[in-house]
Amino acid sequence: MTIYKATQYALLLIGGLMLNITTWADDGSMLVGNCVGCHGPKGASLGPATPSIGGMNAFTFIKAMEEFRDDERPSTIMRYIAKAYTDEDFQMMADYFAKQVFVPHQQAVNAERAERGAKRHQTYCEKCHTESAYRVQGSTILAGQWMPYLQFTLNDFYTGTRDIPKNMQNNVQNMVKAHGIESLNDVTHFYGSQVKSKCNCSAP
């Protein structure tokens, strides 16, 4: 092989590798490398304190990252992680996770609490979290989500630690006023009980 042909071959090989790297980066898989340590491969969390974000609505993902970055949402480490990304990065990451399949978690639930929680969900939550919280309108999938995460998130909503839309805040406050603080736990058990064997729960 002549030096000229060898050079041509090397350039073609490098060009092919660059194309592959660009394609890999463009689908967001490289950007989400820092996410999988806590949120799991493809957004399927392995720890009960960390939410699964595979299948998450893209708008909701971007809004959450912006709030973390701007110190508008309480967090431990996410505020620092979010500051390292651009708005364009947020969009690519959101698109990546939105394409993944949400993985619901099998958990131990209290049947009596879950039954009460189903009634609370129907009255206070179902308008936005439809189909027993499997389908959502610009929100987060709740069915099969980690229960400890749901519990402390609902407590944050109730106490005002985390800002939420006024209508949602009113619903949470009205539920607790009518049914007691344990109603938050009841709803958590209901969502924990809503597990399907196969579920692509990406928001429409």
pLDDT more than 90, % of the chain: 55
How confident is the model over 76-90, as a mean pLDDT? 94
92 C-beta neighbours (distance < 10 Å), count: 18
Per-domain residue ranges for the chain?
111-193
User: Which residues, at least 6 apart from 171, have a Cβ–Cβ distance to it below 8 Å?
Assistant: 124, 125
Q: CATH for 111-193, among 1.10.3470.10, 3.40.50.2000, 1.10.10.10, 1.10.760.10?
A: 1.10.760.10
Q: Does pLDDT of 41 surpass 50?
A: yes
pTM given for the model: 0.77
Tell me the torsion sign for CA atoms 33, 34, 37, 43: negative
Q: What angle, 0 to 180 degrees and rounded to 10, lies between the N-to-C axes of helices 58-69 and 87-98? A: 140
Whether the Cβ atoms of residue 140 and residue 60 lie closer than 8 Å to each other: yes
Three-class DSSP category at 136: strand
